Structure formats: C-alpha cells, structure tokens
Amino acid sequence: MKTPAIRHVCPLLLAAVLGAGNAWAERACAGRLGQTPANAALGSELSLLSWNIQKTDNDGWQADLQALAAGSQLVFIQEALLEADIPALLPAMPDQSFAPGYRTENRTTGVMTLGSALPSLHCQFAAMEPWLGTPKAAVATEYALAGREDRLLAINLHAVNFSFGVASLEAQLRELTALLAEHVGPAIVAGDLNTWSDSRQQLVDRLLGEQGLEPVSFAPDQRSRPFGRALDHVYLRGLRAEAAEAVPVDSSDHNPLRVRLALE
C-alpha cells in the first residue's frame, strides 16, 4: 500500500501537526546549540551561494550550479529535487542537509544546504502553505569556526508564499527567530523569502532585525522580481558582505545570489 502524497492530507490537520512538531523541533534544536563536538571548522572568510533552483526543471541547471558554487563553502538551495542527486555535482561539499517540503509519490523537493565542513547540528522545520495545503521547509545548520569559541548558525529558508495577510509567514519566521535568539554568535538567514509585498518585506526586516540580522544589498540589483519586489535575500549577523551579486540565469525563474563574507 502506497503512502498518500502529503498534498492529500487535510490542510488543517497538517497545519496542527506541523505546528506542534516545529515547536518541539525548535526547543530540541535550541537545546543542542554549541553542544555537539565538531570535527571540522569553517574559516573566517566564506563564500555563500543561495538559489531557488526551480525543482531542476530547466535545462542547464547542472552546469550553472557547478559554476556558481565553485569556491563556495556554503550552498543554500530552495526547491531542491532530492531525486536529482544534487550533491554528486559538488564533490567538494561533503555534507548535505535536507529538509523536505512538497512531495508527490515520486518527487520530493525542499531546502538543501551543502557545506565544505560537516555541521555540528542539523535541524528541520516545516510550515503550512495555506492555499495549497503543502509545507514550506527550512533547515538550520551550525558550524564550528576556526580559532573561535562561538559557532555559525546558518538557516536556509523557503518562506510561506500565498496567504491572506502575513500571519502564516510570521508564524514560520517566529519559530526560526526563537532559535536565533538562543544562538550566541554569527548567523546567516538566506533563501527565497517570498517578499512580494510591502507588508511581507517589512515583517521579515522587523523580525530578523530584532535578532540583529541586517540585509545584504545588491548593486546592480538583478534579483528576480516577478511581483515587482525581490524575493531572494541574505541576512547577516556577526558577518559582513565583502561582495554580493545576483547572477542572471535561464536555468531557473530565480537568479542565484552569491555573497563573499568575512566574520566580524
């Protein structure tokens, strides 16, 4: 007997299950911050790639990913197709941390973080997409830092999209900001934040700003703007952006973001 695809589950029931699960996941994750011994560490200079890869549905994504990720220590992918075996294209990235979102009987997409060092912590989160009745995912990873006592918390997020008002997006973000509040040290939040309205952008800026994270600016700003506003972002705490660019591509409906970072 096949397990039903998650999109067929009652949305109200799934929302309740996800909410309870995330509350437990946030507490469990926060309690493990800085606790697990780390066998490898990231350096004081980092390169980050963040890209909604549109489920790898378009030609050329493999070559673009390999070129864009060259020299990166962290790669955040949203709408990553698990069956596409993305890590095989990036052999310099020994770790794959995946949080599933949308599923069918033969396809699973979600957010995937790949790193040049193994994380000391990996946590998954999911939030209900109100109109579609499917989850949006986030994955949090923690990395030791060479020569430092504190660690880097990296959150790869695909934000809740279509909803009436911003309540669903706020609920998703508050579970992540609760984790950020418990973390002592530098932090990155990046991904497809679906900030297609003023109210959504203001909410993201406010909640992340309360945790000391500031947005990275892109000039020229070539981020994808299907609704007139940039959807993809990188927010930083305890790091500074030495360089940042959005790279136009034909292999996705989102232009990937590349940022060169230095620890403060």
97 within 8 A of 55, measured Cβ to Cβ: no
User: Is the whole model's pTM more than 0.85, yes or no?
Assistant: yes
Closest by CA position to 145, among listed 241, 237, 50, 46: 46
| C-alpha dist (Å) from residue 167 to 24, 27, 122, 171, 203 | 20, 21, 26, 6, 10
Q: List alpha helices for the chain, DSSP H.
A: 11-32, 61-69, 167-182, 198-209
Query: Which of the listed CATH numbers 3.40.50.300, 3.60.10.10, 2.102.10.10, 1.25.40.10 matches domain 6-263?
Result: 3.60.10.10
Q: Is 80 exceeded by the pLDDT of residue 248?
A: yes
Residue 90's CB: how many other CB atoms inside 10 A?
19
Task: Provide the residue ranges of all domains of the chain, joining segments of one domain with +.
Answer: 6-263
Q: Is 80 exceeded by the pLDDT of residue 38?
A: no
Summarised one tens digit per residue, pLDDT across range 149-198 is: 999 999 999 999 877 789 999 999 999 999 999 999 999 999 999 999 99
Q: Which two tokens stand for residue 128?
A: 């209900």
Whether omega for the bond prior to residue 220 falls within 30 degrees of 0, making it cis, is: yes
Summarised one tens digit per residue, pLDDT across range 46-98 is: 999 999 999 999 999 999 999 999 999 999 999 999 999 999 999 999 889 99
Residue 118's CB: how many other CB atoms inside 10 A?
16
